Amino acid sequence: MPTQQRSKATVEAILAAAAQVFRRHGYAATTTDRIAQRAGVSVGSLYQYFPNKDAILVTLAERHIDAGFALVRLLLREALAETPPLAAMLRRFVLAMIVLHEHEPELHRVLFEEAPLPSHVRRRLRERENELASEVSRLLEAHPEACVRSPDVTAYVIVHTVDSLVHSFVLHPPKDIDADMMTNEAVRMLLRHLTAEGS
């Protein structure tokens, strides 16, 4: 619907403002009027481009999801081409996930922990995770060091372990444990699991 340059700018302004307001005030306290005000446009304009408040949330979430997974997938593709040592690969994967979560963590928290994302968005998120798991699975089958019985299950466990570990760690950082320690520990654990004899 937005064809002129001006209207695209409006849409972007609305999304940027929405990101700020959601981040600062949480889901419930975010009103369309506030978003419009912060964006420097009127509510009318907002409703020209988004049918309702949740549509803005959904757009933000989908962008976040897609950008994030695109990044990680890119990284995996590189890994598949280069075939670096398994340890290095795992470390890169964990670090990528950390970068992903450290980008706008508070917005991330509101989007994925607090807001009532409609089920199709949650489904999309899970689909992306599963795609990622598939790629990891292929990577495991191809890698000479890796030695796994059922790559699918192993890949699922790896992806979800890293994802949720990093998620917890970045969004609710425990004192006494820094990112390096956590990364090392996780990498060591995964490495041992992937290279153990007899599986």
By the criterion CB under 7 A, which residues form the site for DNA? 1-7, 9-10, 29-33, 40-45, 47-48, 51-53
In the bound state with DNA, the residue whose beta carbon lies nearer, of 29 and 88, is 29
Asked whether the beta carbons of 60 and 111 are under 8 A apart, the reply is yes
Q: What are 92's two structure tokens?
A: 């890169």
In the bound state with a copy of itself, the residue whose beta carbon lies nearer, of 28 and 81, is 28
For residue 165, the partner it binds in a copy of itself, DNA, none, with Cβ less than 5 to 8 A by kind, is: a copy of itself
In the bound state with a copy of itself, the residue whose beta carbon lies nearer, of 120 and 160, is 160
For residue 1, the partner it binds in DNA, a copy of itself, none, with Cβ less than 5 to 8 A by kind, is: DNA
Interacting residues of 125 by C-beta distance below 8 A, sequence separation 6+: 65, 112
Q: What are 29's two structure tokens?
A: 């306290």
Q: b/e per residue, 109-123, with b = 16+ CB within 10 A?
A: bbbbeebebeeebee
The phi-psi region of residue 52 (left if phi > 0; otherwise alpha if psi is between -120 and 50; otherwise beta) is beta
Q: b/e per residue, 151-162, with b = 16+ CB within 10 A?
A: beebbbebbeeb
Q: What are 103's two structure tokens?
A: 């980008």
Q: From the CB of 31, what's the least distance to DNA, in Å? A: 3
Interacting residues of 9 by C-beta distance below 8 A, sequence separation 6+: none
For residue 127, the partner it binds in a copy of itself, DNA, none, with Cβ less than 5 to 8 A by kind, is: none
Q: From the CB of 190, what's the least distance to a copy of itself, in Å? A: 8
For residue 76, the partner it binds in a copy of itself, DNA, none, with Cβ less than 5 to 8 A by kind, is: none
Contact set with a copy of itself (CB under 8 A): 26-28, 113-116, 122, 126, 130, 150, 152-154, 156-157, 160-161, 164-165, 167-169, 172, 174, 176-177, 181-182, 185-186, 188-190, 192-193, 196, 199
